[in-house]
Chain A
Amino acid sequence: MKQVIIYAFMLLSGAPAFGGAPKNTVAVLSVNSGAYLEAFSSFQAAYGGEVAHYDLSSQKPELDKATRLFVAFGGKAASYTYPAGINIIYCLAPGLLIKPSAPEARSVSIALVPDLPDTFYRIKKIQPGLKRLRILWASDGYASYEQTVKETGARLGIQVTTFRLAGPGSLPGALRKALGETDAIWLPPDPLIVTRENLLILREFSWENKIPFYGSTKSMTREGAVASFGISFAEMGKAAARAATTLNAGGSLPETVFPDKTETTLNAAAAAKLGLEFPRSVLDEAGYLFP
């Protein structure tokens, strides 16, 4: 009976159960390992101390009245329903459509790629003759970039076209349609199409048709992209920490924060196959030049 009364009270008051010590900032990880743990560890170090964190694959996050900020690492954590009125930072959630935050709260997404003008400018340095760039994507979260990428490209003299794939299996058809319509392809870190198999298909297509493709992570460069301009997981964690500090201090931030440090990776074999030469300035910036 007591349980029924408690449950009824919770139901009517909308107050979840609390437990443990006060937690001003709470981190929620999709999984407590791999990229999420790496980004979180970096976040914690930059934030300046231990932060309460939860592994969403095994437990539901708890909070108390002191909780003012959630930091979600991963798409599953970002999709979790958080209480209204609490600030949220989304980190490592590529392709996810982030809905507007609840009233009286702010939400900030940490980008997985450098700011678009930065990316396009670097691609243009490698491929000065670039006139037409096609961007392939599939996840809802990238739909909002549609207009921005075209405008950004136009400012650099690049005609950017976007093509939304129905799913991972649609890449071959999308590449066939790109023939004769583009000088290069850029692939954002979209989990719905960035698979090992797709990168193999893309590499073969790229080399065979002499259409360079550019990626957005070091792993894409390893798999055959001419170059990638991305952000490391650790750098994303640091950017989340800076955003958390700003939000806690009552400062304002844009809806998307682009981390400062871009990780440039190059693939010498791909460049050679496509007849491209990396200029000295690009080589100087590169963290990796894969043979």
Chain B
Amino acid sequence: MDRKLILGIGVLAALLAPGPAAAQDENSEFWSFMAEEAKSLTVASDTPETVFNSVSNVSVIDRSMIEAYNFASVSDALQAVPGMMVLRTYLMHNIPTMRGALQEHYADKVLVMINNVPMWNAVTGEGDLDRVGIDAVERIEVLLGPASVLYGSNALTGAINIVLRKPAGQDTSLGVAGGGLGSGSGGYAGAADVSRASGLYAWKGKDSSYTLAADSYSKAQPAFRFSDEAGAVNTVKEYVNARSFNFTASRGHNTVLLNAARSDQNYLGNSLTLASGELFNQVREAALASYSYNFAPDWGSLKYTMTYDWQRRNIPRDASDNLRSDIVGSRFVRTLNGRLDLPGAFYVEAGGTREDRHARRYTNYFSNTDSAQSDNSMSGRLSGESSAHAQFGYEGEHWKLLAGSRYTHNSDAGDNLSSRASAIYLLSEASSVKAMFSQSFRSPTPFEQYFKPSTVTVLGNPGLKPERADTFELSYLASNSRVFGRITAYHTSYTDTIFRNLGNFPRDGTAYTDVNFYDNAPAYSSTGLEIEGRYEGKRTHAFVALERQWGSRGDEHQIPAPGVFGLPGASSWNFKYVPAYTIAGGFSRDIGDFFLASNFSGYGRNRSLRGSIDPQLWADASVGYRKGPARHALAVRNLGGRPVKFPEYVRQRVVETVPLYTGRRVEYTFEYRF
């Protein structure tokens, strides 16, 4: 054969052969495949730290749990966490309470956050669980125990972080529209009032994402007959109507969070009488804007956050709803936190926070003329708090150690140093033992320090010291693919707890007798055991949450006789009103396209000021239907229909109990995903 022809055929064959070029194509296909798949996955830094290696005791209620048990609100869902109660006083609904540390009307001992941004009232200190509707929630992270080194003031007994929903993967969106009808208020609402309306749209791309959510939720319980402090019996309409708007967006290093909320709720009077506003409406409004810049180079991370949080509360004060109080405050917070990864498995976390609080007003005014009656010594009060913290940590394969401190200077309440140390031993990826010591504090609010109304209901105490808590905890956590369990033993010492005392009190040269005033309590302590169990089967879900507490009487003090109805005086202390046992549980089962769910909560025998309260138990039951993108559920709330009581532990005069639930409600809800 001609040599040139052979050579030519050879060259042509070489060009056509599936050699390196084809291999390169195959290689490119693989890399395209890996890049495409990476879009569907979430890096660990976007996912919550696991409960096993977290340096705190964290309990998580995620979306699947919210849907499995058909929880109606953030407050309802929180009752699935051991050590957590959501209480009500005569002024406020939905007060998150941890490990029995009561907090009168204002939930200021538990920090409430949205997407890790703290939000609370600058005048009275309380966080608000109704600033996010349950349909907008991806998960609720509950940090049990003191957390001041992490979060500063207000995380005295723990913290609740409400995380907004977002799509699972890259280049995906999530749309949800929902609604509901509720009944059972016995006169206040009709048989089928709109109890819920919500809409959410979220999108996630490669380097950006956003979530937009609007929720409206109405919880109108059956009306009840209430005997007040003056002995008058009135029909009270028990309700909380909450509306919220949330928007969060991130692009590159930047994240924005906007929140606006309003809730209307009934009020039992600021001194439990018709003459002090009982039966009228209370309004809470809030708006928050937060911006953060996250920078994560190879050597660690930096995060700067700037937040403005504005809150208003408007409350009735008299029998004609003419005299009302308008309470407005705001907080401006700047935080810089960083982490530096050191050689080996060591790291340092450090940061600083500056917070300017403005108690703008607590004004009593006549609503018919809009004229002021009293400024309650609360107008335009500015205070500031600066803090710096540092923690040194080690993250080995089995050991995780962390120790650090936060120093805080409050312009009105002095200095504080809180520390903590944690040691976690990871027995495996799914089991660990934790030993922790943590300290926390809370600076008194402007209301607790300076409030002085013209007709004295309660007096502020300018000499208040920050309240503190020191806790030792030991936990064991374990899970296999379907069962999770946690058992925690803890001991907490409370020092200088701020509480509402009753007696004689001098202020600004005047000696007030038999008044409520804020005071620091003598030291007391509690020891507790928390047990949490969860089962996540393919079709069956269940949980149980138990707490047993032993509280000391170190803060015991005498309450004088109220001087009416021949009632005697009594002694009072925090853990007098805290049940020794609390229990919650739930069960959910999928049957074809249908599901059944039931959850219950309760507590053991308890005490009120002069009497005792029988064990209380309440349960919800739901039946639902899920098909494709639609979900329908019919729920009976407080199935037994019996009123559920809790001790009146704030005013401590005549009224012995307030209702947590007044009767049975029926609620239908639907959801459509697109």
User: Which chain A residues have a beta carbon within 8 Å of chain B's beta carbons?
Assistant: 10-16, 30-31, 34-36, 38, 74-76, 78-79, 81, 83-85, 92-96, 99-104, 138-141, 143-144, 146-147, 150, 161-169, 172-173, 176-177, 189, 191-192, 194-196, 217-219, 222, 233
B37, A75: Cβ atoms under 8 Å?
yes
Interface assignment of B499: CB less than 8 Å from any CB of chain A: no
Given known A85-B593, A146-B430, A169-B298, contact A14–B33 (CB-CB < 8 A): no
| A35, B169: Cβ atoms closer than 8 Å | no
List the A side residues contacting B672 at CB < 8 Å. 11
A1 and B34 alpha carbons, distance in the complex (Å): 47
How many whole Å from A273's CB to the nearest CB in chain B? 21
| B536 to A, closest residue via Cβ | A100
Would you call A35 and B33 a contact (CB within 8 A)?
Answer: yes
10 contacts between A and B (CB under 8 A): A14-B630, A75-B36, A79-B40, A83-B627, A93-B40, A146-B428, A146-B429, A147-B428, A173-B298, A194-B34
What's the Cα separation between A196 and B38 when bound, in Å? 13
A166 and B44 contact, Cβ closer than 8 Å, known pairs A84-B626, A100-B538: yes
B168 interface residue per 8 A CB criterion? yes
A78 contact set on B, CB distance < 8 A: 40
Nearest CB in chain B to that of A101: its residue: B538
> Which of A35, A76, A96, A138 is B32 in contact with, Cβ under 8 Å?
A35
Cβ B627 vs Cβ A138 within 8 A: no
The chain B residues found within 8 Å of chain A, CB to CB, are: 23, 26-27, 29-45, 47, 64, 168-169, 171-172, 296, 298, 341, 343-345, 397, 428-430, 481, 537-539, 590-593, 625-632, 670, 672-673
Residues of A within 8 A of B344 (CB): 177
| Chain B facing A: main interface SS | mixed
CB-based nearest A residue for B44: A166
In the complex, A219 Cα to B28 Cα: how many Å?
Answer: 9
**B37 lies within 8 A of A11 (CB):** no
CB distance from A186 to the nearest CB of B (A): 16
Interfacial chain B residues near A13, Cβ < 8 Å: 627, 630
Contact B41 A103 (CB under 8 A): no
The smallest beta-carbon distance between B238 and chain A, in angstroms, is 31
Please tell me if the beta carbons of B629 and A81 are within 8 angstroms of each other in the complex.
yes
Do the beta carbons of A218 and B30 come within 8 Å of each other? Answer: yes
Q: How far, in whole Å, are A138 and B169 apart by their CA atoms in the complex?
A: 15
Q: Which of A84, A143, A166 contacts B43 (CB 8 A)?
A: A166
Q: How far is the CB of A234 from chain B (nearest CB, A)?
A: 11
Residues of chain A lying within 8 A (CB to CB) of residue B40:
30, 74-76, 78-79, 93, 96, 191
Question: Looking at B44, B591, B632, which has the most chain A CB atoms within 10 Å of its CB?
Answer: B44
Contacts of A103 in B (CB 8 A): 538-539, 590-593
User: A34 near B32 (CB under 8 angstroms)?
Assistant: yes
Distance between B138 CB and nearest chain A CB, rounded to angstroms: 15
Find chain B residues with CB under 8 A from A11 CB. Answer: 630, 670, 672
Query: Within 8 Å CB of A93, what residues of B?
Result: 37, 40
In the complex, A219→B31 CA distance in Å? Answer: 8
- Known contacts A191-B41, A192-B38; decide if A163 and B33 are in contact (CB<8 Å): no
Residues A191 and B38 in contact, CB atoms below 8 Å apart: yes
Nearest CB of chain A from residue B174's CB, rounded to whole Å: 9
| Other-chain contact of B397, A83, A161, A192, A222 (Cβ < 8 Å) | A161
Residue of B23, B40, B45 with most chain A CB atoms under a 10 A cut-off: B40
Tell me if B39 and A76 are in contact (CB < 8 A). Answer: yes
Distance (whole angstroms) from the CB of B25 to the closest CB of chain A? 10
Residues of A within 8 A of B35 (CB): 191
What are the residues of chain A within 8 A of B298 when measuring CB–CB?
169, 172-173
Q: Is the CB of A79 within 8 A of B44?
A: no
The docked-state distance in angstroms from the alpha carbon of A161 to that of B47 is 22
* Interchain CA distance A81-B167 in the complex, whole Å: 12
Chain B residues within 8 Å of A222, by CB: 23, 27
Given the complex of chains A and B, what is the CA–CA distance between A76 and B397 in angstroms?
32
Q: How far does the alpha carbon of A217 sit from the alpha carbon of B34 in the complex, in Å?
A: 11
CA distance A74 to B40 in the complex (A): 9
Residues of A within 8 A of B44 (CB): 138, 164-167
Q: In angstroms, how far is the closest chain B Cβ from the Cβ of A61?
A: 12
B-side contacts of A173, CB under 8 Å: 298, 341
Across the interface, do B47 and A140 meet the contact criterion of CB distance under 8 Å? yes
Contacts of B673 in A (CB 8 A): 81
Q: How distant is B588 from chain A, measured CB to nearest CB, in Å?
A: 11
Nearest CB of A to B345, in Å: 6
CA distance A177 to B347 in the complex (A): 13
Whole-angstrom distance between the Cβ of A231 and the nearest chain B Cβ: 12
Docked CA distance A101–B590 (Å): 11
Contact partners of B590 in chain A: CB under 8 A: 102-103
Q: Is the CB of A92 within 8 A of B33?
A: yes
For residue A290, which residue of chain B has the nearest CB?
B23
Bound Cα distance from A217 to B37, whole angstroms: 15
Shortest A176–chain B CB gap in Å is 8
**Residue contact A15 to B591, C-beta cutoff 8 Å:** no
Complex contact A35–B29 (CB within 8 A) = yes
Known: A85-B593, A103-B538, A162-B429. A75 touches B41 (CB 8 A): yes
Residues of B within 8 A of A146 (CB): 428-430
In the assembled complex, the CB of B470 is this many whole angstroms from the nearest CB of chain A, namely 32
Q: Which residues of B contact A100 (CB under 8 A)?
A: 537-538
**A79, B168: Cβ atoms closer than 8 Å:** yes
In the complex, what distance in Å separates the CA atom of A104 from the CA atom of B627? Answer: 13
Alpha-carbon distance between A188 and B33 when the two chains are bound, in angstroms: 14
Please name all residues of chain A whose beta carbon is closer than 8 Å to the beta carbon of B627 when the two chains form the complex: 13-15, 83-84
Known: A14-B628, A30-B40. 11 other contacts (CB 8 A): A14-B627, A15-B627, A36-B33, A139-B41, A140-B47, A161-B397, A167-B45, A191-B35, A191-B41, A195-B34, A219-B30
Nearest B-chain residue to A37, judged by Cβ: B29
Closest to B179 in A: A11
User: What are the residues of chain A within 8 A of B36 when measuring CB–CB?
Assistant: 30-31, 34, 74-76
Residues of chain B contacted by A36 (CB below 8 angstroms)? 33
Min C-beta distance of B205 to chain A, whole Å:
13
Query: Do residues B30 and A217 form an inter-chain contact, with CB atoms below 8 A?
Result: yes
CB distance from A123 to the nearest CB of B (A): 21
Report B410 CB to chain A, min CB distance, Å.
35
Least CB distance from A107 to B in Å reads: 9
With contacts A15-B627, A102-B590, A177-B345 known, is A95 near B41, CB below 8 A? yes
